Amino acid sequence: MKVKIEAYDHLGRGIAKIDGKVVFVPYTKKGETVEIEIVEQKKNYAVGKLLPLPSDTPSFCPYYGKCGGCQLQHLSYEEQLEYKQELVKNQLERYASIKLEELPPIMATKPKAYRNKVTLHIEGNQLGFYQNKTHRLFPITTCPILDPAIEKLIPVIKTFIETNRGLNQAVMRVLDRKIMLCLKGKADEAVIINYFSTYVDSLYYNNRLIAGVRSLETTIFGKRFMVAGDAFFQVNDLGMRKIYQQVIDWIPKEQEQVILDLYCGTGTMTLLLAEVAKQVIGVEINEQAIMSARENAHINKVDNVIFYAGSTAAILPLITTPLDFVVVDPPRAGLDEVTRSQLLELLPKKIIYVSCNPLTLARDLQMLAEQYQLEDIKLVDEFPETYHVECCALLSLRKTKIS
């Protein structure tokens, strides 16, 4: 049957209507009329499958529409950016009652070959991604959104698993052209070292360094950062710099201020903020990441930072210093309830909220609204070809609390 796509949902799917009932159709463009087949019928909505699927027509990825990792390759890059701007504007209005007069500005990055890290799953002699919300392996031999330096490792691993069984995961990372490979499984360690050592600069097996250097190094705004093993690090080199620059731009250059950096990972933002502060306090739940953060502070000779390993909810009550700025960069789930109410007790003058999920950002802005108002918001296209978008929001303490 034919339907007209009228809008998009938050997963990048087109929305059509059949007899007033909403039908979600992945891989379609607003305004076009498409042939679909209904594949799921629910009480309040249906899901349609585009005929033919996008992978049946030429695209830069042979698996588009099948592997599930990308959702927007059928849109031009400009259309993708506009989709993300509209998405954030709509979600702020719907879930936080914030009505932006214009679309929030978005900073573009590089649409292809941008990811510096990927996790592939291995079953027998196949490697690939798990399909959306399943543990069903979708085998791949290429992935054009990866940095070519790690994309070219895919056939190398494939050749290895053709004759050596027992691996179940491969995490590949590239920073400043140096490559790290973290393997997991039950294959023979000596055989792994012998085969992979010539291809990579750092080789981990079951979370243990078995060959090469312990960390990859990169330089951001003149500071050196070491990233060891599977520690969190932003996946888009250009996008990450745009996010950090935006955060820095919002902070006045007053050396007397105290900044709290919640969810600080390996301390990248913490150390960059140390330039413009009397003290920066970093909080992170992952102990390995905190070890890297302390090491990075030492390498860069930064001594006005302090790092705490623990959950934000556990560490926040220990912080008694008056705060000028709090930067939060939580995972997709956003702030937890305890952290939100602790922020409402600490009452810093400004909060910078870096979010990879506009839905939870909107929910948190709504929850913080009695004390904080949105002063500015900028988007960064950290994950081109997918529906994901990074938001940087500047919140300021209201002069009078609203109820």
Ligand X SMILES: C[S@@+](CC[C@H](N)C(=O)[O-])C[C@H]1O[C@@H](n2cnc3c(N)ncnc32)[C@H](O)[C@@H]1O
Instruction: Give contact residues for ligand X (rule: CB under 6 A).
Output: 232-234, 263-266, 268-269, 283-286, 289, 311-312, 329-331
- Give the C-alpha separation, 52 to 28, whole Å: 11
Q: Cβ closer to ligand X: 80 or 339?
A: 339
**Block residue for tokens 């069903």:** 136
Q: Cβ closer to ligand X: 28 or 339?
A: 339
As measured in angstroms, the least distance from the Cβ of 369 to ligand X is 22
Q: Could you say which of 61, 264, 356, 392 is catalytic? A: 356
Beta strands, E only, 248-316: 258-262, 279-284, 305-309
Burial of 77 (0-12, 13-18, 19+ CB in 10 A): middle
Closest residue to ligand X, based on beta-carbon distance:
265
As measured in angstroms, the least distance from the Cβ of 240 to ligand X is 7
Q: Cβ closer to ligand X: 36 or 354?
A: 354
As measured in angstroms, the least distance from the Cβ of 331 to ligand X is 5
Q: Cβ closer to ligand X: 75 or 260?
A: 260
Q: Which residues pair with 258 in a beta bridge?
A: 279
Q: Cβ closer to ligand X: 285 or 297?
A: 285
Is the bond preceding residue 252 a cis peptide, omega within 30 degrees?
no
- Give the C-alpha separation, 214 to 232, whole Å: 15
Q: Cβ closer to ligand X: 237 or 284?
A: 284
As measured in angstroms, the least distance from the Cβ of 89 to ligand X is 23
What is the DSSP secondary structure assignment for residue 4, as one 8-state letter? E
As measured in angstroms, the least distance from the Cβ of 81 to ligand X is 22
Whether residue 143 lies in the annotated active site: no
As measured in angstroms, the least distance from the Cβ of 261 to ligand X is 7
What are phi and psi for residue 231, nearest 5 degrees?
-60, 150
User: For helices 189-196 and 153-163, what crossing angle results, to 10°?
Assistant: 140
b vs e for 140-179, b when ≥16 Cβ sit within 10 Å of the residue's Cβ?
A: beebbbbbebbbebbebbbebbeeeeebeebbbbbbeebb
> Is the distance from CB of 276 to CB of 248 less than 8 angstroms?
yes
> Is the distance from CB of 124 to CB of 165 less than 8 angstroms?
yes
Catalytic residues: 356
